[in-house]
């Protein structure tokens, strides 16, 4: 499939029905706005508008800010480069949002990934995460790499795995000699979106001293193989500039740019 065809399928199957909303969050439609949020003590929200913003975009933006301000929740407004209006990002900044680093939406067919050979070096072991200790090791890894909060990632992964075990699989790579006594040197997870044909790939961070040894690619192929076994046709990744070239080299396509805008009460 061409990049344009992949994007059309993604828009129709994932964005329009909110098929990738965070499991367990409240989901609402407010006119043209797709909104989800968690009211917990570490709660947050998420907004996107795949159908555009109508005739008065600034009023729609103001309504969402008011909604989350009343709840004291920060939220992210995720934009895609083809969203309407074309100046949506500028309007969000004027409304008090901060623009975060853009990412490339990467899409592709599972079978394209499985055409590529991939092998781990013998000094490491890839396995599925098993219980709180593994989630903690993954949290330490991701917080070291991205400073996204140790407790936050551990709690979210553990809760999601507990509530939706058929929709999430988490993997880690560890030093074969140290095993569970050493750090997780790389980790990644895959979310399955039933009825869409899409599996989405997350994580993929690797400790600097373990990079350029094929760990990222091996985790990617491992998750693609699992997706194939479960009957999924397509893969989706929100890729940083570090991972984008690897994904494209492996046969996936960059189809558009996504940019998150953050609002904090």
Q: What does the pLDDT look like over 102-120, one tens digit per residue? A: 999 999 999 999 987 778 8
pLDDT tens sequence across 32-77: 999 999 997 789 999 999 999 999 999 999 999 999 999 999 999 9
Work out the mean pLDDT of the chain and round it to a whole number: 93
Opening angle at CA 192, ends 241 and 147, nearest 5 = 40
Judge whether residue 242 has pLDDT over 80.
yes
Whether 54 and 61 have beta carbons less than 8 Å apart is answered as no
Kindly state the tokens that stand for 109: 């067919």
Q: Which residues pair with 260 in a beta bridge?
A: 78
pLDDT band at 149 (very low <50, low <70, confident <90, very high): confident
Judge whether residue 147 has pLDDT over 90.
no
Judge whether residue 148 has pLDDT over 80.
no
235-264 mean pLDDT = 94
Instruction: Give residue 193's pLDDT.
Output: 96
* Any domain includes 264: no
Instruction: Give residue 243's pLDDT.
Output: 87
CA 203 vs CA 54, 93, 127, 141: distances in Å: 35, 28, 15, 10
Instruction: Give residue 152's pLDDT.
Output: 77
Domain tally for the chain? 2
* Any domain includes 262: no
Whether 34 and 18 have beta carbons less than 8 Å apart is answered as yes
141-163 mean pLDDT = 85
Parent domain of 61: 14-104
* Any domain includes 1: no
Residues 95 and 137 both lie in one domain: no
Residue 70: half-sphere exposure toward Cβ, Cα within 13 Å: 7
**Domain stop point among 81, 104, 127:** 104
224-246 mean pLDDT = 94
Residue 118: half-sphere exposure toward Cβ, Cα within 13 Å: 22
Judge whether residue 235 has pLDDT over 80.
yes
Look up the pTM and report it.
0.91
**Domain stop point among 104, 122, 142:** 104
Beta strands in the chain (DSSP E): 26-30, 33-38, 44-48, 75-80, 98-99, 103-109, 124-128, 168-175, 184-193, 198-206, 234-239, 253-263
DSSP string, 194-247: TTTTEEEEEEEEE-GGG-SSSHHHHHHHHHHHHHHHTT--EEEEEE-TTTHHHH
To the nearest 10 degrees (0 to 180), the angle between helices 150-163 and 132-146 is 140
Comparing 154 with 45, the larger pLDDT belongs to 45
Distinct helix (H) and strand (E) counts, the chain? 8, 12
* Any domain includes 3: no
CB atoms within 10 A of CB 148: 12
Q: Which residue has the tokens 């797709």?
A: 34
149-167 mean pLDDT = 85
- Tell me, what CATH number does 116's domain have? 3.40.630.30
Judge whether residue 143 has pLDDT over 80.
yes
Residues 37 and 141 both lie in one domain: no
**Domain stop point among 104, 126, 145:** 104
pLDDT tens sequence across 204-227: 889 999 999 999 999 999 999 999
pLDDT tens sequence across 1-27: 999 999 999 999 999 999 988 888 999
Instruction: Give residue 181's pLDDT.
Output: 86
Instruction: Give residue 219's pLDDT.
Output: 94
- DSSP assigned state of 95: T
Instruction: Give residue 238's pLDDT.
Output: 95
């Amino acid at each position: 499939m061409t990049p344009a065809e992949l994007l059309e399928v993604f828009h129709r199957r994932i964005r329009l029905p909110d098929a990738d909303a965070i499991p367990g969050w409240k989901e609402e439609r407010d006119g043209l706005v797709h909104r989800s949020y968690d009211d917990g003590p570490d709660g947050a929200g998420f907004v996107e508008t795949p159908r555009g913003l109508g005739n008065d975009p600034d009023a729609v933006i103001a309504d969402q800010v008011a909604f989350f301000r009343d709840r004291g929740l920060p939220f992210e407004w995720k934009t895609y480069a083809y969203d309407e209006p074309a100046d949506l990002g500028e309007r969000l900044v004027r409304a008090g949002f901060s623009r975060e680093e853009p990412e490339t939406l990467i899409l592709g067919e599972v079978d394209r990934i499985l055409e590529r050979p991939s092998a781990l070096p013998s000094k490491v072991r890839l396995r599925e995460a098993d219980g709180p200790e593994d989630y903690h090791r993954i949290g330490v890894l991701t917080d070291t790499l991205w400073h996204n909060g140790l407790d936050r990632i551990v709690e979210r992964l553990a809760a999601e795995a507990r509530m939706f075990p058929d929709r999430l699989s988490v993997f880690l790579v560890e030093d074969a000699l140290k095993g569970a006594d050493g750090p997780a040197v790389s980790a990644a997870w895959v979310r399955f979106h039933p009825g869409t044909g899409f599996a989405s790939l997350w994580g993929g961070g690797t400790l600097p001293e373990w990079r350029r040894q094929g760990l990222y690619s091996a985790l990617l192929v491992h998750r693609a193989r699992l997706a194939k076994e479960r009957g999924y046709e397509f893969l989706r990744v929100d890729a940083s500039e570090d991972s984008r070239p690897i994904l494209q080299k492996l046969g996936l396509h960059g189809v558009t740019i996504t940019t998150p805008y953050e609002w904090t009460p």
